Amino acid sequence: MKVVKNAGQIFDIELEEDLLQRNRELALENRKLLDSHGVLAVDIMGSVGSGKTSLIEQMVSCLKARYRIAAIAGDLTTTIDAERIKGRGAEVVEVNTGKECHLDANLVRKAIEELELETIDLLFIENVGNLICPADFPLGSHRRIVVTSVTEGPYMVIKHPHIFAEADAVAINKVDLSQAMGVEPEKLQEDALSINPALRVVRTNCLTGEGVEDVIELLVNWFIGKR
Amino acid sequence: MKVVKNAGQIFDIELEEDLLQRNRELALENRKLLDSHGVLAVDIMGSVGSGKTSLIEQMVSCLKARYRIAAIAGDLTTTIDAERIKGRGAEVVEVNTGKECHLDANLVRKAIEELELETIDLLFIENVGNLICPADFPLGSHRRIVVTSVTEGPYMVIKHPHIFAEADAVAINKVDLSQAMGVEPEKLQEDALSINPALRVVRTNCLTGEGVEDVIELLVNWFIGKR
């Protein structure tokens, strides 16, 4: 089969590298700012409809008695996700990216400036629904979770190695539909670990809350580890 | 709720506009090249696992006796989709975009150069799995189909107005799972038509072939309309 590889002719590669470098610097500044207030920030990434907002809703409900929680919700134009998270009792800043397919450290910085960091323990950052570009744009968060759903088909993990390489944990979601979809969570887990053996893998149904206790355990350990 | 809007500070907006303009020019050149050989090109867009490859497989199987078909399959790094389409009897050129989240007109031009256009009637171009950036990058195709699946949740259409505004048709896929997902295809259709009243909407199960005849009818009409 003939294969054409992207050699980026119509992109200015140097400028792109400058942009990524500038983003990394801003991400480090965000991290320092969060650290100076003892905030643990967790970036939630995943494709459209994978269950990012549902997972954040579950985490807020389970943890709001223990931690003071805020969220930054990235979306192209709507406030649907932000309203849902707010409904669970977290303070939320909405970031509308317009046509941009990912959050960047600059946008997150502007959102952080809208929060009173001294009143927050745990900050969830919901990225835009996309499995590709968010991998290249660290935001300054301490940990990154990918939410992926069995309904995205059997090749979803192996087609997106970059994002799994950059993540600390993956939630394989909508496990109740694995039989109907003919997609085995075991195979997705195997694929994810073959890309990144250090990944923590949990299986969830974020609508019912099944498996969410495993995510909570990870979060609590990360929080303790940070102190 | 506090809302932060993207003002693009870390991006060079002018350069981005230059890039989009250059892409539009290259897309027009692609269109002319395709027209000079009487090829109808259809761009298939949609999120990860929505069913783009399955739809192309179905279309190739249904139409290969009538038309000479080729495909360009865009993917980050793998050749999975390309192999599947080839298995149905179409000539396929694979385009690996690396870390880029969409095809562009330059990559499509390079792929077209690998094909013998005089031996082709119908060219399917499978975009990278992403509902955001492909909307901004016309490729030179004559028509654009979005494949979206009920498993992507109830807000998928209203969250991605740009891509539906740019499309000619939408296939609402995996309709067999609408009850299990609690997502109504009627509502997705309504949302899509509210964004773009000229959209042709079909409902499909691309694994069984349900509803694919409606897509075939569209394609045949587009082909006749082009002649």
pLDDT in tens, chain A (227 residues): 788 877 554 444 555 778 889 999 999 999 999 999 999 999 999 998 899 999 999 999 999 999 999 999 998 888 899 999 999 999 999 998 887 888 999 999 999 999 999 999 999 999 998 888 898 899 999 999 999 999 999 999 999 999 999 999 999 999 999 998 899 999 999 999 999 999 999 999 999 999 999 999 999 999 998 76
Residue B130 confidence (pLDDT) above 70: yes
Alpha carbon of A214: minimum distance to chain B alpha carbons (Å): 23
| pLDDT the model gives residue B7 | 59
Contact flag A93-B2 (C-beta cutoff 8 Å): yes
Query: Is B5 a domain residue?
Result: no
Number of domains forming the structure of chain A: 1
Contact flag B1-A83 (C-beta cutoff 8 Å): yes
Which H or E run includes B125? strand B122-126
Do A176 and A209 form a contact (C-beta atoms < 8 A)? no
Taking Cα atoms as reference points, which of B128, B146, B180 lies closest to residue A181? B180
The Cα–Cα gap between B110 and A18 comes to 27
Which residues of chain A lie closer than 8 angstroms to B126, CB-CB? none
Of B86, B101, B130, the CB nearest to A1: B86
- Mean pLDDT, chain B, rounded, equals 92
Contact flag A132-B10 (C-beta cutoff 8 Å): no
Which residues of chain B lie closer than 8 angstroms to A128, CB-CB? 132
Where in A161-208 does DSSP place strands (E)? Answer: 169-173, 200-203
| pLDDT the model gives residue A7 | 59
Query: Is B11 a domain residue?
Result: no
Confidence band of B99 (pLDDT split at 50, 70, 90): confident
Query: Is B37 a domain residue?
Result: yes
The answer for residues whose C-beta is within 8 angstroms of residue A225's C-beta and 6 or more apart is: none
In this structure, the strands spanning B2-5 and A122-126 are unpaired
Do A95 and A111 form a contact (C-beta atoms < 8 A)? yes
Taking Cα atoms as reference points, which of B130, B129, B175 lies closest to residue B150? B175
Contact flag B153-A48 (C-beta cutoff 8 Å): yes
Q: Tell me which residue range forms the domain holding A101.
A: 34-226
Which residues of chain A lie closer than 8 angstroms to B162, CB-CB? 76, 99
The Cα–Cα gap between B192 and B190 comes to 5
Taking Cα atoms as reference points, which of A159, A96, A109, A169 lies closest to residue A137? A109
Do A83 and A61 form a contact (C-beta atoms < 8 A)? no
Which H or E run includes A146? strand A143-149
| pLDDT the model gives residue B100 | 82
User: What pLDDT, in 10s, does the model give residues B18-72?
Assistant: 888 999 999 999 999 999 999 999 999 999 889 999 999 999 999 999 999 999 9
Do A51 and A149 form a contact (C-beta atoms < 8 A)? yes
Q: Write the single-letter amino acid at B78.
A: T
Contact flag B130-A130 (C-beta cutoff 8 Å): yes
Which residues of chain A lie closer than 8 angstroms to B166, CB-CB? none
Of A5, A96, A159, the CB nearest to B5: A96
DSSP letter assigned to residue A101: S
**Interhelix angle for A13-36 vs A105-112, to 10°?**
30
ipTM of the complex: 0.79
Cβ count within 10 A of residue B154 = 17
**Positive or negative CA dihedral for B160, B165, B171, B175?**
positive
Query: Is B68 a domain residue?
Result: yes
User: What pLDDT, in 10s, does the model give residues B161-179?
Assistant: 999 999 999 999 999 999 9
| pLDDT the model gives residue B105 | 95
Of B19, B130, B136, the CB nearest to A11: B19
| pLDDT the model gives residue B8 | 52
**Token pair belonging to B116:** 């013998």
| pLDDT the model gives residue A3 | 81
| pLDDT the model gives residue B14 | 57
Query: Is B110 a domain residue?
Result: yes
| pLDDT the model gives residue A97 | 87
Alpha carbon of A215: minimum distance to chain B alpha carbons (Å): 22
Name the maximum alpha-carbon separation found in chain B: 57
DSSP letter assigned to residue B100: -
CATH of residue A59: 3.40.50.300
Do B163 and B135 form a contact (C-beta atoms < 8 A)? yes
* Mutation target vs B (from A102, A132, A166, A174; most B CBs, 10 A cutoff): A132
Which residues of chain B lie closer than 8 angstroms to A77, CB-CB? 159, 161
Q: What is the pTM of this model?
A: 0.87
Where in chain A does DSSP place strands (E)? Answer: 2-5, 40-46, 69-75, 91-96, 122-126, 143-149, 169-173, 200-203
The answer for residues whose C-beta is within 8 angstroms of residue B194's C-beta and 6 or more apart is: none
A-B contacts at Cβ under 8 angstroms: 198
Compute the average pLDDT of residues B2-29. 75
Compute the average pLDDT of residues B85-113. 92
Give, in order, the Cα–Cα distances in Å from B156 to each of A81, A168, B47, B50.
Answer: 12, 26, 10, 11
Do A203 and A175 form a contact (C-beta atoms < 8 A)? yes
The answer for residues whose C-beta is within 8 angstroms of residue B123's C-beta and 6 or more apart is: B34, B39, B40, B41, B42, B69, B70, B71, B72, B112, B115, B141
Query: Is B8 a domain residue?
Result: no
The Cα–Cα gap between A174 and A121 comes to 29
Alpha carbon of B169: minimum distance to chain A alpha carbons (Å): 20
Nearest CA in chain B to A81: B155
Contact flag B99-A9 (C-beta cutoff 8 Å): no
